[in-house]
Structure 1
Amino acid sequence: MTDVFETLPVVDEAADARLRARLVAAAERDGLLDVAYRTVDSPIGALLLAATEEGLVRVAFEREDRDAVLASLADAVSPRVLAAPARLDPVARQLDEYFTGGRRAFDVPLDLRLAKGFRRAVLAHLAEIPYGRTESYAEVAAAAGSPKAVRAVGTACATNPLPLVLPCHRVVRSDGSSGNYRGGEDAKRTLLTLEAA
C-alpha cells in the first residue's frame, strides 16, 4: 500500500516565493491589489497588518480570527486582497521601533474608511493622547465633542480598526483600571507597562 504523502509533490519553497513575488508585482502593476496584508511578530503576539493604496487600514490581534478579518476587509474595501508584505514594510519597521522603545508615535498614512461618525472623532483624538499617558473614557468623550457619550467611546475603542497606531490602549476607566481591550487585557497591560518604562 502506498503512503498518501509519497504521492504529494515536493514544494520548492524558493520557487514558491518567487512565484508569489511575481504575482504581487503583476497585481500591483495592473491595479489589481486593493488590500495588501502581512503578519508581524510582536511582544503581544502576531499582528495582522493590512493597507490600501491610501494607507494602513487594519491592525488585527492574534486572538482575532485572521480569515474573518480578511473576509471583512474583502466585504468593506475590496475582494482584491493579497499577501503583499512590501507595502507594509514601513509600518512593520515602526512597530518594531515602538516595541523596542525607539518610537513614541507612528508616522504612516492611514485609511480610516472603516470608522464613521463619532467613532472617527474618537479615533482622531486617540492620536493626541501622548505616549506614556492615559485618559479616561469620559475625558475622551469630552475631547471628541460629546461629554455624555462615554459608552460610545468604549465602543469606538473596541472597534478601533488601527489599535497601537491609534492608541486606544491609553484609554482607561475613571478609577484608573485598564478596562477591556480588543487585543486582550494582558496585551493592554503590557502596552501600558512598556510606555511607562
Structure 2
Amino acid sequence: MEEQVFLSSLPRSEGALSGADGEVLGETVRQLEAYFAGRLTRFDLPLALSGTPLQERVWRALLTIPYGETVAYSDVARDVSAERAVRAVGGAIGKNPVGIVVPCHRVVGKSGAITGYAGGVANKVWLLAHEARTRGEGPLFARRS
C-alpha cells in the first residue's frame, strides 16, 4: 500500500495537537514523513489529549509501547490498573484521537491476533509490518510482556 493511499484512508481527528498552528502542523508533517521513511520511532509533538480519566490513562500507556512491539489489550488494562475493564480499555484505545502518534496500532489480541483498528485492520497490519521492516530485527510481531 502506498503511503498516500494509506494516509488518505485514516480517520481524521480535530484538536488533539496542542497549539495546532502552522509551526506545529509543519513539525507534525515532518515527523510523520520521518516515521514513514523509517527514520523516526517516537514522536515528539505537543499533545492535548482530552478524554475521560480512563481514556487519558490508556492513551498515556500507549505512548510507552516500544516501536515495533505489540502488547495485548489485557496488558494495557493491567498497566492502567483496570484489569477487570478490558472492554472499556479497548473502547478507550478505539477513541484515540491521534493514531500513529499515539500508537494504538501496537495493541493486539491476547493470542497475538490482529483485531480492530479505527483506521481499518488492513492499515493496522501495514503499520505493524512497516515498523517490523524498518526496525530490521526480530519477528513481525514481537511481544512485550
Please give the range of the TM-score, normalised by the shorter of the 2 chains: 0.7 to 0.9
Deviations 1:139-197 (A, max 9, x none): 00000111111101110111111111110000000111110000000100000000111
- Aligned partner of 2:34 in structure 1 is 97
Give the aligned residue type for 2:109.
Answer: R
Larger radius of gyration: 1
- Aligned partner of 1:191 in structure 2 is 127
- Aligned partner of 1:111 in structure 2 is 48
Give the aligned residue type for 1:134.
Answer: T
TM-score by length of 1: 0.60
Q: Which of these residues, 73, 78, 92, is aligned with residue 156 of structure 1?
A: 92
Map 1:20-169 → 2, pairs under 5 A: 42=4, 44-46=6-8, 48=12, 50-51=14-15, 54-55=18-19, 86-113=23-50, 115-169=51-105
Q: Which of these residues, 167, 175, 181, is aligned with residue 111 of structure 2?
A: 175
Give the aligned residue type for 1:44.
Answer: F
Q: RCO higher in 1 or 2 (8 Å CA, sep ≥ 6)?
A: 2
Looking at structure 2, the residues matched to 155 and 167 of structure 1 have their Cα atoms a distance apart, in angstroms, of 15
Say whether the 8 Å CA contact 1:129–1:135 is kept in structure 2: yes
TM-score by length of 2: 0.81
- Work out the percentage of aligned pairs sharing the same amino acid: 38
Gaps of 5+ in 1: 1-40, 57-83
Looking at structure 2, the residues matched to 129 and 52 of structure 1 have their Cα atoms a distance apart, in angstroms, of 19
Say whether the 8 Å CA contact 1:51–1:88 is kept in structure 2: no
> Aligned in 2, Cα 1:53/1:133: closer, same or farther, shift over 3 Å?
closer
Question: What's the secondary structure of 2:69's corresponding residue?
Answer: coil
Higher strand share: 1
Report the alpha carbon displacement of residue 87 of structure 1 after superposing the two structures with TM: 4.1
Looking at structure 2, the residues matched to 151 and 183 of structure 1 have their Cα atoms a distance apart, in angstroms, of 19
Looking at structure 1, the residues matched to 22 and 55 of structure 2 have their Cα atoms a distance apart, in angstroms, of 29
How many residues matched? Answer: 129
Gaps of 5+ in 2: 134-145
Q: Return 118-127 or 86-95, whichever deviates more.
A: 86-95
Looking at structure 2, the residues matched to 87 and 105 of structure 1 have their Cα atoms a distance apart, in angstroms, of 16
Report the alpha carbon displacement of residue 135 of structure 1 after superposing the two structures with TM: 0.4
Say whether the 8 Å CA contact 1:135–1:171 is kept in structure 2: yes
